Amino acid sequence: MDNLVMKMRAHGVDFFYGKNHALKNINLNVAVNKVTAIIGPSGCGKSTFIRLLNRMNEMVPNTTLTGKIYLDCLDILSPCIDPADVRRRVGMVFQKPNPFPKNIFENISYGLEVNGIKNKQLIEERVVTSLKRSAIWEEVKDRLHDSALRLSGGQQQRLCIARCLAIQPEVLLFDEPCASLDPISTRKIEELILELKKDYTIVIVTHNMQQAARISDYTGFFLLGDMIEFDKTDKIFKAPSDSRTEDYITGRFG
C-alpha cells in the first residue's frame, strides 16, 4: 500500500460465533489518515470485523477470536490490555443514532466525566470543539440544554460523532452510519468523514457502494467471512480483480 503508515493491522484473524466461522483468516491493514471501507452482502462478516477493532465483540457471549490485531505497535487483544483503553483510542459510531436520553451538552460531557475529567472549563471546551468538529455546532449552539432526542436523525448521528470525538480517539469506526438517514443527512455525514480523515483514521462499514466509492481511499470486499479483495477504492470500483467483487458491485450477485 504505497509505503503508507498503518494505524491498525489485522493479522490472520479468525472469529467464531459458537461453531459458526464468521471470519476466516482476515489480513487487513488500515492506513493512517485514510478512509477504509468494508463492503459486502449481509452476513459477510463486515460488522463483525470492525467490532473486533475496538474489542466490542467481547460483549457477545460464546465467541472465539484468534489472530492478532495491532493498534500502532500495541497488540490490542493481549490479556493485559484493558478493552476500555482500546475503546478510548478507537471510537465507534453505530448504524442507528443512539444519543443518551439527556440534553445535548450532557451527551458529550458524560463520556468525559466517566473518563475522570472534572475540570468544568475543560469539559465545556471539549464539548464545543467536538460539536464544531462534527459540523453540528451551528444547529445546536442555542439549545445545548434541549434533549438530544428532539434532534433529527441526521443531527443525532452527528451528535454521536461529536460524543466520540470528545474522548479524543485516534481511530473512528463507523458501522453503516447513514443506513437510517435521508440523502441530505447522508451527504453531511460523508462530508464530515472526509473532513475528519485529516486528523483521524477511519474505517467504515457500508451497504451503499456509491458511498464507499465517494468517501473511501481503500476498500475491502467481504463475502461469507472471507476477504475476497482489498485494494484502492478507485481500482475496486473501476476494475476489480476478482469476479465475485465485480458481480457484487455491479448488482449481478446472487
Partner 1 sequence: MQRHFDEDLAKLKTDILSMAALVDASILDAVEALKDLDASRARQVIASDRRIDEMELMIEEHSLSLLAQQQPMANDLRFITMAMNITTDLERMADLAVDIAQRVLEMSDKPLLKPLIDIPQLATVAQTMIKDVIEAFVNRDEALARKVILFDSQADQLRNAVQRELINDYMIKDPQTVSRAVPLLLIARHLERICDHATNIAEDVIYMVGAEVVKHHPERLQGKAEE
Question: Interface residues with partner 1 (CB under 8 A)?
Answer: 209-210, 213, 237-240, 245-246, 249-254
Query: Position of cell 463507523?
Result: 174
Backbone angles phi, psi at 138, to 5 degrees: -60, -30
Whose Cβ is closer to partner 1: residue 116's or residue 254's? 254
Q: Return d(Cα 13, Cα 150) in angstroms, integer.
A: 41
Q: How far is the CB of 254 from partner 1 (least distance, A)?
A: 5
Q: How far apart are the first and last CA of the chain?
A: 31
Burial class for 142, CB neighbours closer than 10 Å (0-12, 13-18, 19+): exposed
Q: How far is the CB of 234 from partner 1 (least distance, A)?
A: 11
Q: How far is the CB of 248 from partner 1 (least distance, A)?
A: 9
Burial class for 54, CB neighbours closer than 10 Å (0-12, 13-18, 19+): buried
Pairing of strands 6-17, 20-31: antiparallel
Q: How far is the CB of 204 from partner 1 (least distance, A)?
A: 17
Whose Cβ is closer to partner 1: residue 38's or residue 148's? 38
Q: How many CB atoms lie within 10 A of CB 116?
A: 6
Whose Cβ is closer to partner 1: residue 60's or residue 239's? 239
What amino acid occupies position 197?
Answer: K
Answer yes or no: are the C-beta atoms of 127 and 159 closer than 8 Å: no
Q: How far is the CB of 250 from partner 1 (least distance, A)?
A: 5
Q: How far is the CB of 93 from partner 1 (least distance, A)?
A: 25
Whose Cβ is closer to partner 1: residue 72's or residue 247's? 247
Whose Cβ is closer to partner 1: residue 61's or residue 251's? 251
Contacts of residue 109, defined as CB under 8 A and 6 or more positions apart, other chains included, come to 123, 124, 126, 127, 166
Whose Cβ is closer to partner 1: residue 57's or residue 211's? 211
